Amino acid sequence: MSQPNTVFLRLEGLLQSWGDTSKFVVRRTMEAPTKSGVLGLICCAMGLSREAARPKLPELNKLVMGVRMDRPGTRWWDYQTVGAGIGLMTAAGGIKTDAQGTLVTRREYLTDASFLVVLHGEPTLIENVAKALQIPKWPIYLGRKSCPPSIPIFAGSAEFPKLEAALSSPKWRPRLEALDGEKPQNDPTCLLEWRSSELQRIAPNEAEVWYDVPVSFNPPVHGPRLVIRKTIVADPGESTQQATPPPPRPRANYNKTEWTSEKLVEVVDPKTGEKTMEPFGARPRRLRRDHGLCVFCKSPATTVQHVTYRRAGGSEEQEDLRALCRLCHDAVTMIEYGLGMGLDRINPEEPRWRDAIIEKRREIVSFRSLATRKRKLQPEEIE
């Protein structure tokens, strides 16, 4: 019976960080797990310290590694203090006299990333790695101790003839489910470790050099390896989160007769029963009720503002609208968008909005050129 020659690792968590060659106070992360980081994770699962791992590294480095970037994640910065109460080291390796300061370092992370790591090699070694990952002796983490995994890292083992076949076999998990049968995202990019063979002795021109082959963890010493970037077709599996469509938002149709018509019709007041002749369209009717003046600054009104959009689209009531000049309308709209307001918006007649609207008017006037103001505003509105 054949033995598995491939082991799968699912590296997924809130934060991940796979160090590159950056040092000192700015520590960046690579875009995907490094071989040094993955082998360090395995040594941690085996219970090997940095010093004890050194004799094991030549054997582990024989494994060929491939990474499928199912979700590349988003880069994020944080900070960390180093050396509190220890002292600052001199260039010669000693401690500076009376120097007990603390260094503040910047650390880069990948947030909400998901990677499938495939290790391909000798079956006995693969079996030992799989056992260690299933029952780790020490807690394992994603590059840094502050980055615990959110799901079990061991994702199975199997037999595959090539690395590419192993990477395309498991389904990948998109963040959001597809809507209307659409593909959730493009096929994932893979990073394949390249090694010379009888068929190809010279690396292709597109090969990248990654200095992440661990020779020693203490002190840290790394060698180079060649990596090929390739897109591999893999079927999407179940998404980790359902895509919730945004709630329908009523919108005003400014071309409808119910909005624009100035034809006079008989309107009966539901409270008093009094009959009056008013424009049929909601916009001209509100302008007439406000006597053609801006309810905020009393300049000639050129438009109306929705106080609420709950009945927008042709069913607006007159209490849903207010007449405004163009400057006040722009100021109110900018405040609404800045606050991220939903269906219910600003009523410019309320005193609590007065100072904010005045300040936003001044900001708009000072920002716009005189030519823009003349083009956008009525002569009475130019300051």
188: CATH: 3.30.70.2660
Please report which residue ranges of the chain form alpha helices under DSSP H.
35-46, 50-53, 57-60, 123-134, 163-168, 257-260, 282-289, 326-339, 354-367, 370-376
Residue at 284 is within a domain: yes
Q: Is residue 247 part of a domain?
A: no
Domain count, the chain: 2
Whether 369 is covered by a domain: the verdict is yes
Shared domain check, 14 and 139: yes
pLDDT at position 88: 62
Question: What are the beta bridge partners of residue 110?
Answer: 16, 75
Q: Is the pLDDT of residue 22 over 90?
A: no
Residue in the block written with tokens 């310290």: 49
Q: Which is nearest to 235 in space by CA: 281, 273, 280, 185?
A: 185
pLDDT at 95 over 70: no
161: left (phi over 0), alpha (psi -120 to 50) or beta: alpha
**End position of a domain, from candidates 231, 249, 275:** 231
Residue-wise pLDDT for 134-193, tens only, equals 999 999 999 998 899 999 999 999 999 888 899 988 887 777 666 555 555 567 889 999
| pLDDT interval class at 377 (50, 70, 90) | low
Least confident segment among 42-46, 64-68, 303-307: 303-307
Q: Which SS3 state, helix, strand or coil, does residue 358 take? A: helix
Cβ atoms < 10 Å from Cβ of 63: 21
Print the domain residue range for 49. Answer: 6-83+99-231
For position 133, what pLDDT does the model report? 96
60 domain residue, yes or no: yes
**Which pLDDT belongs to residue 275?**
80
How many of the other CB atoms lie within 10 Å of CB of 279?
A: 19
Contact 157, 130 (CB under 8 A): yes
For 379, which DSSP code?
Answer: G
Nearest to 381 by CA among 291, 296, 293, 299: 299
pLDDT digits (tens, 9 = 90+) for 225-267: 999 999 888 877 777 666 666 666 666 667 777 777 778 887 7
pLDDT of res. 374 = 59
The separation between CA 382 and the C-alpha centre of its own chain, rounded to angstroms, equals 43
Mean of per-residue pLDDT scores for the chain? 85
**Which of 211, 198, 208 lies closest to 228, judged by CA?**
208
pLDDT band (50, 70, 90) for residue 32 = very high
pLDDT attached to residue 181:
53
Q: Taking 60 as the threshold, does the pLDDT of residue 81 lie above it?
A: yes
Q: Is residue 312 in some structural domain? A: yes
pLDDT over 90 for what percent of the chain? Answer: 49
Residue 94: inside a domain, yes or no? no
Residue 217 scores a pLDDT above 70: yes
Q: How confident is the model at residue 2 (pLDDT cuts 50, 70, 90)?
A: confident
Residues 223 and 120 in one domain: yes
Q: Are 152 and 223 found together in one domain?
A: yes
Based on the domain organization, do 203 and 311 belong to the same domain?
A: no
Pick from 166, 196, 231: which residue ends a domain?
Answer: 231
